[in-house]
Amino acid sequence: MSTETFEFQVEARQLLQLMIHSVYSNKDVFLRELISNSSDALDKLRLEKLWDDSLDADVSDLHIDITIDQDSRTLTVRDNGIGMSYEEVGRLIGTIANSGTAKFLQELKEAKDAAGQEGLIGQFGVGFYAGFMVADEVTLITRRAGEGQGTRWSSRGEGTYTLETVDDAPQGTSVTLHLKPADAENQLHDYCSPWKVREIIKRYSDFITWPIRMLPEADPTATGPDDEAPEPETLNSMKALWARSRDEVTDEEYHELYKHVGHDWRDPLETIRLQAEGTFEYQALLFLPEHAPHDLFTRDAKRGVQLYVKRVFIMDDCEALLPPYLRFVKGVVDAADLSLNVSREILQQDRHIEMMRRRLTKKVLSTVKELMAKDRDRYATLWREFGTVLKEGLVTDPENREAILAFASFASTDQDTEPTTLKQYVERMKDGQEDIYYLTGESRRSIEDSPHMEAFRDRGIEVLLLTDPVDEVWADAVGAYEGKQLRSVAKGRIDLDAKDDDTPDAEREKQAEDYAGLLAWLTEELDEDIKEVRLSSRLTVSPVCVVSDAHDLTPALENMYRAMGQEVPSAKRILELNPEHQLVKGLNQAYKEREDRSELAETAEVLLGLATLAEGGRPKEPARFVKLMADRLERSL
Ligand code: ADP
Ligand code: MG
């Protein structure tokens, strides 16, 4: 078959351009990326052969070779792993499947300065394309294990690549970089230097469990068959970091392992080691990343850690080892007593795995708690990036609820910048305050301005300002903390401490009597949407607000359940009037005086619309609402 030329997918082309005009200063990492891919490919082949012994592949000496050719200025990384089919090369190398690519590129465009761009590239990681930081041409030859024909891919990184089939490709993949000239100013080292290559491998890839060998260059002075061919040299120690004693491993080494398993270019925020001895022995090396991946909330996102059995890689993305709300945790778990051909299905039911999951979960949660105590900044980063996911655990993992609440923190009316924990909130509670108050909404601003907050603001009662969709769900599920009810200020009756209330009881009763007729009439008038109209004790400035009954779902929750495909009935809400407001007083007056109440009925509709708008909702019939409002404004001119 002849050579065919293809265009890179748009996103891939843009990323390549970035690599070529490299915004990323540490160019040495290209080699780490190629070796990381080769290591994955060797893992995959070993597993595939384990599952299917009839696979026509040689697994007797799985390894990675590095060859340097000074004359042609090429560096080749070759593995005898799983390889790729013709179709796979086009799909895996010509496109970028990461669902966050478009968003990432947009952010990249917006980041004007080089430092911002470098940070973003590091966050995204660009794997194979990193080769184009140091090479002006990359050629890849690969043959999928078990297949007869190989594929040759080649590109100069300028928008197109070529593909052709080759007959004599060895099993696995070789990537040959035609190196750019060394250029110290741009941190482009001489990657033809065996010394440099040795150093990079030692620094970034020492823990790789497959041998990385450097083949000596052909010696031009060799004269005859008597000269012994020099032996290849193994560059890495291959020691699994989690099997080495703690003080033997540097932070940098841990970080490089993280980059390999996490497909991230940045250092992790925290490294967690755990060693379980006894009847079921295992070691875990877990990492908390510094940034959330773009696909944290997509269904098909990769999650879970790598599972090893006695240093041998068994599976990627092992979901059984951590609960879904810890899906951002990366790392390696090495269990001594599992079968090598354990399957995902078996793992889901295995008693030992269940024990491991509980222990690992507790360890991660206690680490976050410690982080909060010892390093506020790093804790704040973690909570900003993963707080939303961790809060899912409050709903799905009652066993660890307390542990999560120990470090969960929230914005509050009392704190301008620092979020508060529930514990801190309780410590600040006023004498006589019995409940923990919160309000949910789209943004801090919109919650603070909500009419529901008025009485609380007046009395200086602290309210938690919750802006994540999951907040309403967990607040509902958790219910109480240290015996204090969690109460939404937009739900149920609010009866703030009577001591502070300067309205005497007798006066209240008179007020109730005075409004009784209007309230009854309005309740009937708005019956379709509202279950009750009553006087409010939470309003001081606004005329009206809508609230939910204490045990009803709020509109936001209803929407969320519907988005998840669940049928939920629409709960009618309650309209509250501020008896001290001039508009409400006037309305009462008009109600008492007029026989014809058709105009008043419209006013009632407008009031309901206003109350809905004030809490961030939308009136039932927006166009009609606008018309009614416009009519009234016109008359007031
Ligand atoms: P990532 O490793 O994060 O998936 P890369 O850009 O490094 O992203 O690689 C893209 C894909 O190309 C890999 O997921 C893998 O499927 C394939 N690939 C790259 N290098 C090799 C290799 N040496 N052998 C087999 N497949 C490879
Ligand atoms: Mg990779």
Nearest ligand, CA of residue 78?
1
418-467 pLDDT tens trace: 899 999 999 999 888 999 999 998 889 889 989 999 989 988 999 999 99
**What are the DSSP E strand ranges found in 53-185?**
64-69, 74-79, 135-143, 150-155, 160-166, 172-179
Lowest mean pLDDT among 17-26, 141-150, 217-226, 354-363: 217-226
Minimum CA distance residue for ligand 1 atom 14: 92
Q: Are 615 and 441 in contact (CB under 8 A)?
A: yes
Q: Binning pLDDT at 50, 70 and 90, where does residue 246 land?
A: confident
Minimum CA distance residue for ligand 1 atom 1: 127
- Say whether pLDDT at 230 is over 90: no
Which of residues 81 and 618 earns the better pLDDT score? 81
Which ligand 1 atom is at minimum distance from the Cα of 125? 3
Q: Are 549 and 574 in contact (CB under 8 A)?
A: yes
CA–CA gap between residue 132 and residue 18 (Å, rounded)? 9
SS3 445: helix
Nearest ligand, CA of residue 43?
1
Which ligand 1 atom is at minimum distance from the Cα of 175? 23
CB-side exposure of 19: number of CA atoms within 13 Å? 31
Pocket test for ligand 1, best of 92, 98, 99, 104 (most atoms within 8 A of CB): 92
Nearest ligand, CA of residue 97?
1
CA–CA gap between residue 366 and residue 210 (Å, rounded)? 34
Q: Binning pLDDT at 50, 70 and 90, where does residue 1 land?
A: low
Q: Binning pLDDT at 50, 70 and 90, where does residue 502 land?
A: low
Distance (angstroms) between ligand 2 centre and the Cα of 263 equals: 6
List Cβ neighbours of 259 (8 Å cut-off, separation of 6 or more).
32, 36, 125, 204, 265, 266
- Say whether pLDDT at 414 is over 80: yes
- Say whether pLDDT at 501 is over 60: no
Q: Which of 588, 433, 571, 419 lies closest to 492 in space, CA to CA?
A: 571
Which helix (H) or strand (E) segment holds residue 515: the answer is helix 505-525
Domain ranges of the chain: 4-219+230-234, 241-380, 409-489, 501-636
Name all contacts of 428-433 with Cβ < 8 Å and 24+ positions apart.
428/462, 429/462, 429/484, 430/460, 430/461, 430/497, 432/497, 432/499, 433/461, 433/497
Q: Which CATH number is 241-380 given?
A: 3.30.230.80
Cross-strand partners of 276 = 282
- Say whether pLDDT at 499 is over 70: no
Nearest ligand, CA of residue 131?
1
Instruction: Compute the mean pLDDT over every residue in the chain, rounded to the nearest whole number.
Output: 89
Q: Are 124 and 26 in contact (CB under 8 A)?
A: no
Q: Which tokens belong to 481?
A: 């903390």
Cross-strand partners of 420 = 410
Ligand 1 neighbours (beta carbon < 6 A): 33, 37-38, 41, 79, 81-84, 92-93, 127-128, 173, 263
Q: Which fold has domain 409-489?
A: Rossmann fold (3.40.50)
Q: Phi/psi zone of residue 568: left (φ > 0), alpha (ψ -120 to 50 degrees), beta?
A: beta
Pocket test for ligand 1, best of 9, 32, 40, 171 (most atoms within 8 A of CB): 40
Minimum CA distance residue for ligand 1 atom 27: 37
Cα separations (Å) of 495 from 491, 492, 499, 535? 12, 10, 11, 12
21-50 pLDDT tens trace: 867 888 999 999 999 999 999 999 999 998
SS3 content of the chain, % helix, strand, coil (to 5): 45, 20, 35
Residue with tokens 């967690």: 272
Mean pLDDT of all residues in 10-23: 81
Which helix (H) or strand (E) segment holds residue 404: the answer is helix 401-405
Q: Binning pLDDT at 50, 70 and 90, where does residue 218 land?
A: low
Starting at the edge strand found earlier in the chain, the sheet holding 212-215 runs 4-7, 160-166, 150-155, 135-143, 172-179, 74-79, 64-69, 212-215, 233-234
Bridge pairing between strands 160-166 and 415-420: unpaired
Superfamily the domain 501-636 falls into: Heat shock protein 90, C-terminal domain (1.20.120.790)
> Side chain identity at 275, as an amino acid letter?
Q
Q: Which tokens belong to 324?
A: 């879904």
The DSSP code for 234 is: E
574-587 pLDDT tens trace: 999 999 999 999 99
CA–CA gap between residue 205 and residue 197 (Å, rounded)? 11
Which ligand 1 atom is at minimum distance from the Cα of 129? 6
pLDDT of residue 131: 94
Distance (angstroms) between ligand 1 centre and the Cα of 33 equals: 9
Distance (angstroms) between ligand 1 centre and the Cα of 137 equals: 18
Distance (angstroms) between ligand 1 centre and the Cα of 256 equals: 18
pLDDT of residue 234: 95
Pocket test for ligand 1, best of 128, 132, 258 (most atoms within 8 A of CB): 128
CA–CA gap between residue 93 and residue 447 (Å, rounded)? 47
Distance (angstroms) between ligand 2 centre and the Cα of 303 equals: 16
Which ligand 1 atom is at minimum distance from the Cα of 79? 23
- CATH of the domain spanning 4-219+230-234, picked from 3.20.20.30, 3.30.413.10, 3.30.565.10, 3.90.100.10: 3.30.565.10
